[in-house]
Amino acid sequence: MLMRKPFILAILMAALTLGACSPKDTGTLQLHSDADLAGLRVATGAGTCYDIELSKRNDITLILYNEDADILQSLLIGKSDVIVHDETIFNAHICRETGIKIAMKGTEEFPTALMFRKSDKDLAEACNATQRRMVEDGTMARLKKYWLEDEYMETEHFTHIPEETAGEPLRVACVTAMAPISFVVENEWYGIEIDLVRELAKDLHRPLEFKLYDVSSAMMAMKTGKADVMTGCIFITPERQEQFLFADPYHGYTSAYYVIDKDASRNKAGLWQGLKNSINKNLVREKRWTYITSGLWVTIKITLLAILLGSAIGAGLCAMTRSHRKWMRSFAGAYNWLMAGIPMLVLLLILFYVVFAGTGLNATAVAIIAFALNFASGACGVYNSALSAIPVGQTEAGLALGFTKLQTFFHIVFPQALRHGLPLFQGQCISLLKGTSIVGYIAIQDLTRAGDIIRSRTFDALLPLLVVTVIYFILAWLLGLLLKCAFPKKHVL
């Protein structure tokens, strides 16, 4: 039995691997003007300028993604025919490696700037001052040349900040993990906008703190004061200007239309060699496996603590649902009703951005609380159904023998309820474990997010997802094992 599960898993993965490598052959798509897009499937980033422009057309199929890596992936796996994105975002190196090319460049320049909170006028002003200084002393020109024209070194900053800094850190919300704008290598952020922020921090003598968000949660983080400046190739749009304050634009990016380059010589590595290359690229290079291990630890931490806390709250709730006081039963009923109705992600966002927004509580703690609150409701249900399975006669027999109420519960009822409830409880724990994969929304780098970060660097969807999947499988299995060990079947005396 133990041997069979991994075997089935292996077959599934092999099937996935083969499925992902199926090629389709026609010539490279030619584009000469916007009109040529007619009838094609076009992918781009949700909420970007391109989104706004392209959604005006009704002769194309527009596919929107939140993450840049997903946009590229959609082209590579044939879900889209062409992708529209910044000209800089997929540089020559990436194009070579993935076998795509720029078919056409856009004509319009989109002014791009760092974004601040409306109330943070001083900070925006400081940023403008820094940019003016950079333009005057030529730093800006050299910065752009370094990141946008030269073949940059991926792990070298353009701007060097002196070691000593003081005061509140400048919290940077990065919505792009993509060279050359902003990207992570071995937990250090690099890129043109990163250096821009570093210049600002240098002038302000403040330390820096970076966090990766997706666009919508970054906006939320900005509004609720969890981040001070937002970077990641943010185009200035009237809508955004209504809500946020932009610094002066530092550059105008044009768009590019990327298509699959059918003429590119792709190295047709065998399955085994391909897997080896993929492992090397996704896990070994730049010590990318460390994302996985640190993410794994975060996932384990959130899951276990939420289970412990949630079980305890659930026990309290269960006691309330069985209380003879009406208000207690009503409270527990209302709580369960509420938890049943709120999607986990919404609960997490509400707790993070609203309830605990003003407190200094860190994101991981908020996630633990959110999952514990949700888990408590499920655990309460499990306890209740387990306890209901024990006939009241068992309690009466215990009491009649001379056990106290508490003794009767722990000696007689609980051991029997445990047998009924444990399988259900295990199911709850495992769904909690899997549910934690959404914590990336509040910028926690858990296991799933670790996979996302690797994907955004390597543009390889398969292996990171596969590795993450396998690890979740193993975690779920271990969790079951842990519960079995914690509550072994044994003789009572």
Which residue ranges make up the site for another protein (CB under 8 A)?
A: 391, 393-394, 396-397, 399-404, 407, 411-412, 415-416, 419, 491-493
Kindly tell me which of 362 and 388 has the beta carbon lying closer to another protein.
388
User: Which phi and psi (to 5°) does residue 83 adopt?
Assistant: -120, 145
- The token pair at 246 is 């932009």
Kindly tell me which of 24 and 325 has the beta carbon lying closer to another protein.
325
Query: What is the residue whose two structure tokens read 């009649």?
Result: 400
- Residue 378: C-alpha distances to residues 255, 310, 388, 419, 472 (Å): 49, 9, 15, 17, 21
Kindly tell me which of 361 and 399 has the beta carbon lying closer to another protein.
399
3-state SS assignment for residue 64: strand
CA 318 from chain centre, in angstroms, equals 34
Smallest distance from another protein to CB 393, Å: 4
- The token pair at 24 is 């389709």
Kindly tell me which of 32 and 490 has the beta carbon lying closer to another protein.
490
Smallest distance from another protein to CB 402, Å: 3
Kindly tell me which of 62 and 412 has the beta carbon lying closer to another protein.
412
Least Cα distance to 225 among 170, 268, 303, 183 occurs for 170
Kindly tell me which of 19 and 415 has the beta carbon lying closer to another protein.
415
Smallest distance from another protein to CB 493, Å: 5
Residues forming a β-bridge with 45: 65
Per-residue burial over 160-192, b = 16 or more CB atoms within 10 Å of its CB, e = otherwise: ebeeeeeeeebbbbbbbbbbbbbbbbeeebbbb
Count of CA atoms in the C-beta half-sphere (13 A) of 11? 4
Helix ranges (H only) for 389-461 are 392-401, 405-407, 414-435, 447-458
Kindly tell me which of 273 and 404 has the beta carbon lying closer to another protein.
404
Smallest distance from another protein to CB 286, Å: 55
- Residue 98: C-alpha distances to residues 16, 28, 153, 264, 419 (Å): 19, 14, 20, 9, 53
Smallest distance from another protein to CB 395, Å: 9
Distance between CA atoms of residues 398 and 405, nearest Å: 8
Distance between CA atoms of residues 354 and 248, nearest Å: 31
- The token pair at 28 is 């490279």
Kindly tell me which of 78 and 415 has the beta carbon lying closer to another protein.
415
If phi > 0 it is left, if psi is from -120 to 50 it is alpha, else beta; for residue 266 that is beta
